[in-house]
Amino acid sequence: MIIAFYNQGFLVEREVIHALRRLAGVTVVVIEITSFPTAEQAEIACNALSEQKCRILVTINDWGLDWHGVTAAFLQKSGILHINWCVDDPFFIETMHGVPLPRHPNRVDFISDRGYVQPLTMRGVHAHFLPLAADPSIFFPLHPRPEYARDICFVGSSYVKEVEDYIGRHMPFIEERISFVHELMRAYKADMNVDIGARISDRLAREALPKGLSRERAVLIFKYFVGYIYRKQVVTGLASRFPDFKVFGDAAWTLFLPKEKVPMAVGYYGNLNETYQQTRVNIDIHRAVIRDGFTQRVFDCGASGSFVITGARPIMREHFECEGPDREAVLFDNEEDLIEKAEYFRAHDAERAAITRRAREKVLALHTYGHRIREMFAIIRDAI
């Protein structure tokens, strides 16, 4: 079996390629292609699929597929099975760029956020839940273990650029409803499992929207804005509480924090493994657009043997022991709970180490990208 993979070198892609290449009886052809190719570039890539006699094409987030329909038409005509694994909002491209959601008989979609499976199925998409995972060749305990360089840290984007790119011209629309934003923030901070999207939809259904702003886009930009504000507030709160708190991300964090709290950026495939292990308590902050899924940090910290505190979402309790003497994960309910648990676990080394050890055992046993690719093909065998 010859499987093609459209690669841009982004997060998750290297891991999936590694896992595909571990499958018995499989040859993986990696085709380097821009995220959103022109029709001409798409045609060149399709010719490569034919020349290499590929029977399956794997993509992440539909990156590498053109918006002109060249690739979709070729895949349907050739009978090549297209497997797409969406590790972000599957409606983003359609909502923000007006490109229809891809659907054709030779396609199977996997979604890392379970909350999107039903909406996609209702749209006629052959969708299945497949959570993120870890690659133990990238995230693993270092020997000797690095000395702790800090007590608390968060690794993640500020989302300032995304807000500028996707929300900037719609800011007057949001600012006119700033009291509603505060209402959403209070609800989300009290219960991060509240359906923010449903609340926004209910509110905007009663309002006339500006010309050129669809209801779907209005809901999406509100969700992104609430997530952006929530992350900023939690991070700045941690920075105020813990003197040695650090945030590793983009330079825009310095708009909200002193420069000494925003050290150099980390490279996901470079020094992130070491950064996690140099931190006593890593913080995992979900985005509001994640309905019912994991972040990458839970699995990567687990595989690296690093301690992490993450949001109290039901899906965590379904996959990890979160209470009792065999606890594998520590969850927080709100910002106050997060600060209290960060205080506690930075001072309890033995308890923290025991949880970290069990978390690593669980990740290696059930949550590597090798497991996910095997799950993917098991689902395909049953579905086709």
Distance between CA atoms of residues 45 and 50, nearest Å: 9
Is pLDDT of 254 > 90?
yes
Whole-number pLDDT of residue 267: 87
- Total length of the chain: 384
Residue 291 banded pLDDT, cuts 50, 70, 90: confident
Residues 105, 206 within the same domain? no
Whole-number pLDDT of residue 264: 76
More confident call, 188 vs 85: 85
Residues 298, 348 within the same domain? yes
Whole-number pLDDT of residue 240: 95
Q: Residue 144 falls within a domain, yes or no?
A: no
pLDDT tens per residue, range 158-197: 999 989 988 888 999 999 999 999 999 988 888 888 888 8
Residues 67, 174 within the same domain? no
Is pLDDT of 351 > 90?
yes
Q: Residue 350 falls within a domain, yes or no?
A: yes
Residues 157, 304 within the same domain? yes
Domain count, the chain: 2
* ∠ CA 340-242-255, rounded to 5°: 120
Is pLDDT of 154 > 80?
yes
Whole-number pLDDT of residue 290: 84
Residues 353, 374 within the same domain? no
Q: Is the dihedral of CA 185, 186, 191, 193 positive or negative?
A: negative
Q: Residue 142 falls within a domain, yes or no?
A: no
Is pLDDT of 153 > 90?
yes
Q: Would you tell me how many other CB atoms lie within 10 Å of the CB of residue 31? A: 17
Q: Residue 178 falls within a domain, yes or no?
A: yes
Residues 374, 351 within the same domain? no
CATH number at residue 89: 3.40.50.2000
Is pLDDT of 111 > 90?
yes
Is pLDDT of 120 > 90?
yes
Average of per-residue pLDDT across 89-111: 91
Q: Residue 49 falls within a domain, yes or no?
A: yes
Whole-number pLDDT of residue 383: 74
Average of per-residue pLDDT across 108-124: 95
pLDDT tens per residue, range 308-342: 999 999 999 999 999 999 999 999 999 999 999 99
Measure Cα distances from 357 to 9, 247, 305, 352, 367 in Å.
31, 25, 6, 9, 15
- CB burial of 329-347 (b: ≥16 within 10 Å; e: otherwise) equals bbbbebbeebbebbeebbe
Residues 167, 283 within the same domain? yes
On the 0-12 / 13-18 / 19+ scale of CB atoms within 10 A, 350 is exposed
Residues 361, 238 within the same domain? yes
Whole-number pLDDT of residue 192: 83
Is pLDDT of 298 > 90?
yes
Question: Which residue is listed with tokens 């504000």?
Answer: 229
Whole-number pLDDT of residue 266: 85
Residues 195, 264 within the same domain? yes
Whole-number pLDDT of residue 104: 84
For all residues of the chain together, what is the average pLDDT? 94
pLDDT tens per residue, range 200-243: 999 999 888 988 889 999 999 999 999 999 999 999 999 999 99
Residues 99, 167 within the same domain? no
Whole-number pLDDT of residue 63: 96
Residues 361, 373 within the same domain? no
Whole-number pLDDT of residue 79: 93
Nearest to 287 by CA among 241, 228, 236: 228
Q: Residue 344 falls within a domain, yes or no?
A: yes
Structural domain for 228, as ranges: 150-366
Residues 79, 165 within the same domain? no
Residue 8 banded pLDDT, cuts 50, 70, 90: very high
